[in-house]
């Protein structure tokens, strides 16, 4: 965590310096007050000198005012530093996650990334706030208190030598017990977030299969585990404050007891009162340090989890000086491409070689798990091929400037996702400058204009997060329209017609063939009817190309394709 704090606190060194200056000033003022109090008792009250009492009392009021002002300013700058750190950490995590490939996102998991961005950042932020408030003043009060107490009376110094180590040892043992509990707590927060996210996302499935009781128990178990860990930490917290107060009270009694003996031997009463104040300041400084010590273990765990994210390099490396100029043609080539997931026993794709030309429609079909989605994810670099090369207009996608690459591709993913906002804001996601006329053109091609125009607000109709307020087919058509608004050279449809009925599918394909005649179309499909008119069909089986050609050619040359066709179409439809 120290490396993380050095990195993110460096821009705020001026604020930290101001915190140190004002905390030092208020700590020195606190140390000065007991000696003034002793002076009033010994030289004012004891001697009946009212003028001296008023004079020194005025000085005490001025010092107290200075202490309060310095403390307020120090806390203000400390809070500003901590809040700025939290903002920067959240931004740093978001910036890092935004360049992750699907491999890294899957590695951490969405619930864990959310926890790290919120709860973990909050723990580090709270630690910095407490450190700015107490980190400077605690050592000054402790060391300064010892010096000032010794000036009052050396004979009672053994009390400090006993009280301080006892307090440190007791708190240290509790903190050692709390560290593993904090680590476990953050993991269990991840589990609660994951279970809750799954249940909210899959609420329809849960209700359809009447699994409410099972899911309720699953959440209750995760919640129970988190509660048990939190209670365990709470018990240690409950022990901490009684121990601190016990040491403070016993020390106070000891000072008065043995100080009374010292007074009978000639020690002044004001010096005894000042010594008691200094001892309490020393113990309070130790207690402030323990507050930081209590927060530090959890903050350290959270800081480590944050550092894991910001220090993780994406497996998709962006070129430092990527190619920014490309001819607007849209040619795509896969040259001996292979891909393996980390730790997998065998590659998902093996030695794939084919090309896709502008003005042509290339379809990819195959059984479930044959590698279709993985194949097309290599084009926009959601993954990087572990072998071979993927070229766009003759340039390896690894060497292309990412903005140039992504501007050429209009992608409709297998699971279409809509963002909260309006129909128009979703359609303009890839082209913010698109006019309303262009949006309606895209909706017309995607066979979505009818239901959008039927909405009360048309293009300004609200869309819920994930598009949950529209049907699956409508969501799919809006996702297709969003890609079309981008006006790219290459369009990739990953099983994007599966939620459409046959008539809508046919109208959509006809509209695409008319309006996208010069574009490069890559269609991944499960339904043969969707791809029968494709210029080139790639048949995948076990991550390898087992057939390539037109529909009619593959019926006679590819056994795998013929089996897929026979399972879906009648003899008349396949003729």
> Which of 310, 413, 303 minimizes the C-alpha distance to 97?
310
Percentage of the chain modeled with pLDDT above 90: 14
What is the C-alpha to C-alpha distance for residues 404 and 406, in angstroms, rounded to an integer?
6
Percentage of the chain modeled with pLDDT above 70: 98
**What does CATH list as the number for 332-574?**
3.40.50.300
Does the pLDDT of residue 572 top 60, yes or no?
no
Mean pLDDT value of segment 506-532: 84
Mean model confidence pLDDT for the chain: 84
What does the chain come to in residues?
Answer: 575
Q: Which of 121-130, 448-457, 497-506 has the lowest mean pLDDT?
A: 497-506
In this prediction, residue 266 carries a pLDDT of: 67
Q: Is the dihedral of CA 230, 235, 239, 241 positive or negative?
A: positive
Q: Which of 47-51, 66-70, 370-374, 546-550 has the lowest mean pLDDT?
A: 47-51
Mean pLDDT value of segment 15-30: 89
* Domain boundary assignment for the chain: 2-310, 332-574
In this prediction, residue 424 carries a pLDDT of: 92
Predicted confidence band of residue 574 (pLDDT cuts 50, 70, 90): very low
Phi, psi of 455 (to 5 degrees): -70, 150
pLDDT in tens, 284-294: 787 777 777 77
Predicted confidence band of residue 256 (pLDDT cuts 50, 70, 90): confident
- The CATH superfamily holding the domain 2-310 is ABC transporter type 1, transmembrane domain (1.20.1560.10)
Q: What is the side-by-side order of every strand in the sheet holding 349-356?
A: 349-356, 332-339, 387-392, 395-396
In this prediction, residue 220 carries a pLDDT of: 92
Does the pLDDT of residue 479 top 80, yes or no?
yes
3-state secondary structure of 103: helix
The DSSP annotation for 420-449 comes to SEEHHHHHTTS-TT--HHHHHHHHHHTT-H
Mean pLDDT value of segment 188-212: 82
Mean pLDDT value of segment 527-541: 86
In this prediction, residue 2 carries a pLDDT of: 80
In this prediction, residue 571 carries a pLDDT of: 41
DSSP 8-state assignment for residue 467? G
What is the C-alpha to C-alpha distance for residues 112 and 107, in angstroms, rounded to an integer?
10
3-state secondary structure of 46: coil
What is the C-alpha to C-alpha distance for residues 292 and 282, in angstroms, rounded to an integer?
16
What is the C-alpha to C-alpha distance for residues 452 and 436, in angstroms, rounded to an integer?
13
In this prediction, residue 570 carries a pLDDT of: 55
The answer to whether domain 2-310 and domain 332-574 are alike in fold is: no
């Amino acid at each position: 965590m120290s490396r993380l704090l050095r990195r993110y606190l460096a821009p705020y060194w001026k604020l930290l310096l101001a915190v140190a200056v004002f905390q030092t000033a208020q700590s020195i003022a606190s140390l000065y007050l007991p000696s003034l109090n002793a002076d009033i008792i010994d030289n004012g009250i004891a001697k009946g000198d009212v003028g001296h009492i008023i004079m020194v009392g005025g000085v005490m009021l001025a010092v107290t005012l200075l202490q309060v002002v310095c403390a307020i300013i120090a806390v203000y700058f400390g809070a500003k530093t901590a809040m700025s750190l939290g903002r920067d950490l959240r931004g740093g995590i978001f910036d890092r996650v935004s360049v992750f490939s699907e491999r890294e996102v899957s590695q951490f998991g969405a619930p864990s990334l959310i926890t790290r961005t919120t709860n973990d950042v909050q723990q580090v932020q709270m630690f910095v706030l407490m450190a700015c408030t107490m980190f400077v003043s605690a050592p000054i009060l402790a060391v300064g208190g010892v010096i000032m107490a010794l000036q009052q009376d050396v004979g009672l110094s053994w009390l400090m030598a006993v009280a301080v180590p006892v307090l440190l040892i007791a708190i240290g043992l509790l903190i050692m017990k709390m560290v593993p509990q904090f680590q476990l707590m953050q993991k269990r927060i991840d589990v609660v977030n994951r279970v809750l996210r799954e249940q909210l996302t899959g609420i329809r499935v849960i209700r359809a299969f009447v699994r409410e009781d099972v899911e309720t128990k699953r959440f209750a178990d995760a919640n129970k585990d988190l509660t048990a860990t939190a209670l365990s930490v709470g018990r240690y917290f409950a022990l901490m404050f009684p121990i601190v107060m016990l040491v403070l009270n016993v020390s106070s009694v000891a000072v008065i007891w043995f100080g009374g003996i010292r007074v009978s031997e000639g020690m002044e009463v004001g010096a005894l009162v000042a010594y008691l104040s200094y001892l309490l300041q020393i113990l309070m400084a130790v207690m402030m340090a323990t507050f930081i010590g209590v927060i530090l273990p959890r903050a350290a765990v959270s800081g480590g989890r944050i550092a894991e994210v910001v220090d993780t390099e994406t497996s998709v490396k962006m070129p430092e000086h990527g190619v920014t100029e490309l001819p607007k043609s849209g040619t795509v080539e896969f040259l001996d491409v292979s891909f393996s997931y980390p730790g997998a026993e065998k590659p998902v794709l093996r030695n794939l070689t084919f090309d896709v030309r502008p003005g042509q429609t290339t379809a990819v079909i195959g059984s479930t798990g044959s590698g279709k989605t993985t194949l097309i994810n290599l084009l926009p670099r959601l993954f990087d091929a572990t072998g071979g090369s993927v070229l766009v207009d003759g340039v390896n996608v690894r060497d292309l400037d990412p903005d140039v690459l992504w501007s050429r591709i209009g992608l409709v993913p297998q699971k279409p996702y809509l963002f909260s906002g309006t129909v128009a804001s979703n359609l303009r996601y890839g082209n913010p400058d698109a006019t309303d006329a262009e949006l309606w053109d895209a909706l017309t091609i995607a066979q979505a204009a009818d239901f959008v125009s039927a909405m009360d607000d048309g293009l300004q109709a609200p869309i819920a997060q994930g598009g949950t307020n529209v049907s699956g087919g409508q969501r799919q058509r809006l996702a297709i329209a969003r890609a079309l608004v981008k006006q790219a050279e290459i369009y990739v449809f990953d099983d994007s017609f599966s939620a459409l009925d046959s008539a809508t599918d046919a109208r959509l394909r006809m509209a695409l063939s008319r309006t996208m005649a010069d574009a490069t179309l890559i269609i991944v499909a499960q339904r043969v009817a969707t791809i029968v008119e494709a210029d080139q069909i790639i048949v995948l089986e076990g991550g390898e190309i087992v057939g390539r050609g037109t529909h009619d050619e593959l019926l006679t040359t590819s056994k795998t394709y013929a089996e897929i066709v026979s399972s879906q179409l009648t003899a008349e439809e396949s003729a």
